[in-house]
Amino acid sequence: MSASLGFFTALAFAYSGFTALSQTLDRHYADRHGRGAAASPAERLRLQGLGWAALALALAACVQQQGWPMGSVSWVGTLTLGALVLVLLLGYAPAIAVRAARWAGMLGGCGLLMMSAMPA
């Protein structure tokens, strides 16, 4: 169970991180907030920080689960899958993609807490 918990935790963080980073782009932000809307510089900086932090937490989940050699390889695969899910969802339902990213981030946090509480 802990292997799948580590994978889904990393996937949730990867999806959430890529969604936050995508919202720093004018096109994706306007898709969500209406035509002509643009994020303020402070909001862009906040979204970039959240996005990179989520990707770093995805790396932490993979490394905690599998160690550095295989964890880093697993992280790259998880990033690929998280980005693919976002690309498919963002093109058709941007509001659902952002809402799902919020839930994914929260579930990823719960998964990381559960992983740290489990015995090795």
- Predicted confidence band at 3 (pLDDT cuts at 50, 70, 90)? confident
Give the separation between CA 88 and CA 43, rounded to whole angstroms.
25
Evaluated on CA atoms 65, 67, 70, 72, the torsion sign reads positive
Average pLDDT over residues 33-55: 86
**Residue 35, pLDDT score:** 77
Average pLDDT over residues 12-18: 97
The predicted model scores a pTM of 0.92
Residue extents of the structural domains in the chain = 2-117
**Residue 40, pLDDT score:** 78
Q: Average per-residue pLDDT in the chain?
A: 89
Q: What tokens appear for 84 in the block?
A: 């693919």
The type of residue at 12 is A
Average pLDDT over residues 23-28: 79
Q: What tokens appear for 55 in the block?
A: 């990707």
